[in-house]
Amino acid sequence: MVSIEQQYIDTHPKSLERYQVAKDLFPNGVTHDARNLTPFPFYVTHSEGAHKFDVDGNKIIDYRTGHGSLLLGHNHPEVVKAVQDQMAIGTHWSASTDIEIEWGKLVTELVPCAEKVRFNSSGTEADMMAMRLARAYTGKSKIIRFRNHFHGWSDYAVPGWAAPSGVPDPVLDTMIVLEPNNISLVEEAIQKNDVAAVILEPTGAHMGQEPIKPAFLDELRDVTQRNGVVFIMDEVVTGFRTSRTGASGYYGIVPDLSTHAKILGGGLPGACVAGKADILDMIQFRDDPDFNSNGRVSHNGTFNANPLSAAAGVTALRIVRDESVNDVATERASQLKAGLNEILTRKEIPGIATGVASIVFLRIGLDVDNEDAIYDVPIDDIEPRSDLKKLGGLAMYNHGVDGFDRFLLSAAHTEDDIAATVEAVGATIDDFRSGGLL
């Protein structure tokens, strides 16, 4: 019996060739931490709808969907046309444009807290900006965040997420990292510190893998409001996905600021901070030289609202607003969850598939019998077994799927894709068994 790893090596010889070159060019041979793969990553040539194709000719059902940016699937024809048309007339005029107004209007239409908007190029930047705006607006310095929640890779977002290597201590000291889902900890931290803001991923860390209790969002809204603390929802993943109005609309909780990227840019780089006009207007020049020199938040950025991203973003957001893409992706996610739970039962493996809207988590080995029970599992017990995670990814590639413990659905996934994915998980469980892992 060929091992999972050997099977991967045997079916990806051309990817291995590329990796031999890439490993001397890039750290680990890759350009994003999440693209690290042992023994080597696979190299993609093109994509269509819910599928991508690698250099070895493998067709893969894609559940990483542009790190979550492709709710519409790959190469959506309307987005492709909008980008091509824009490319032909110009991509950067160092000037204001009609299309940025349209993009901004769509954001204010869809995002519940959005009275005003400022565009950036990445979610990392949007989160940096939201934190800085909150500090400038409140005159306070500390930000409360939650362990394992991801808010980009800037210095300020590192504590609670990654090693603090390279980040100055005074920066680390401005962040208060708390356990999620415990409002008493938040209240206590606010009483003891000069807290400017609370930021979180509204469905939980790792795109919802470590779930946030919906009641906690309510409690946060209440506590921040009572204490004059800015409540920031990082909707980089959940925005325009959890519902067309994001997690904020889905749960009916309106923060002061929310940050957006991924789907906002229609598959191209684009991000924004949206929220209360008073706070966004910390960027606005006033008739007050002292404020302009000492109080204002300055913000440049070569590619802010660049017409190419705006063209893709406007097209994607119009489709999100006018069509039922969220419902379709969520429906496919429900089908996937049901199929995964059925296969776990059939194979007599403890575990459960969970998830909010169009994101699904496969939790092999977790002994909970209903989806709601997931909220009570301590976050340290919720991570998948690292050996299963590592080999599960490879085994799923071997069976034609990019995704193992987390699936980001798009409206392009079909019922056939879901059925094939469930089959691939069944085959992966068999591989685990043959390899003595289960």
Residue ranges in contact with ligand PLP by CB under 6 A: 67, 122-124, 127, 150-152, 201, 207, 234, 236-237, 261
- What's the N-to-C CA distance of the chain in angstroms? 16
Instruction: Report d(CA 315, CA 86) in Å as an integer.
Output: 12
Residue 324 near residue 407, CB atoms below 8 Å: no
Which of 55, 51, 97 is CA-nearest to residue 75? 51
Residue sitting closest to ligand PLP (CB): 123
Minimum distance, C-beta of residue 407 to ligand PLP, in the bound complex (Å): 15
Q: Pick the closer one to ligand PLP by CB: 79 or 131.
A: 131
Minimum distance, C-beta of residue 323 to ligand PLP, in the bound complex (Å): 24
Q: Pick the closer one to ligand PLP by CB: 68 or 339.
A: 68
Position 216, amino acid: F
Q: Pick the closer one to ligand PLP by CB: 359 or 424.
A: 359
Minimum distance, C-beta of residue 205 to ligand PLP, in the bound complex (Å): 9
Minimum distance, C-beta of residue 206 to ligand PLP, in the bound complex (Å): 8
How big is the chain, counted in residues?
Answer: 438
Sign of CA dihedral 4, 368, 209, 65: positive
Minimum distance, C-beta of residue 153 to ligand PLP, in the bound complex (Å): 7
Q: Pick the closer one to ligand PLP by CB: 60 or 263.
A: 263
Instruction: Please state whether the peptide bond connecting residue 168 to the residue before it is cis, i.e. omega within 30 degrees of 0.
Output: no
Strands 116-120 and 271-275: antiparallel
Minimum distance, C-beta of residue 314 to ligand PLP, in the bound complex (Å): 18
Token representation of residue 273: 């901070």
Q: Pick the closer one to ligand PLP by CB: 114 or 344.
A: 114
> How many helices and strands (H and E) does the chain possess?
17, 16
Alpha helices in 37-194 (DSSP H): 65-68, 77-89, 98-110, 123-138, 169-172, 183-192
Instruction: Report d(CA 202, CA 246) in Å as an integer.
Output: 10
Residue 130 near residue 120, CB atoms below 8 Å: no
Token representation of residue 183: 């409002």
Q: Pick the closer one to ligand PLP by CB: 133 or 429.
A: 133
Which of 240, 407, 246, 400 is CA-nearest to residue 332? 407
Sign of CA dihedral 178, 182, 183, 185: negative
Minimum distance, C-beta of residue 146 to ligand PLP, in the bound complex (Å): 12
Q: Pick the closer one to ligand PLP by CB: 107 or 391.
A: 107
Instruction: Report d(CA 190, CA 183) in Å as an integer.
Output: 11
Minimum distance, C-beta of residue 81 to ligand PLP, in the bound complex (Å): 24
Q: Pick the closer one to ligand PLP by CB: 16 or 261.
A: 261
Minimum distance, C-beta of residue 433 to ligand PLP, in the bound complex (Å): 33
Q: Pick the closer one to ligand PLP by CB: 333 or 391.
A: 333
Instruction: Report d(CA 72, CA 412) in Å as an integer.
Output: 6
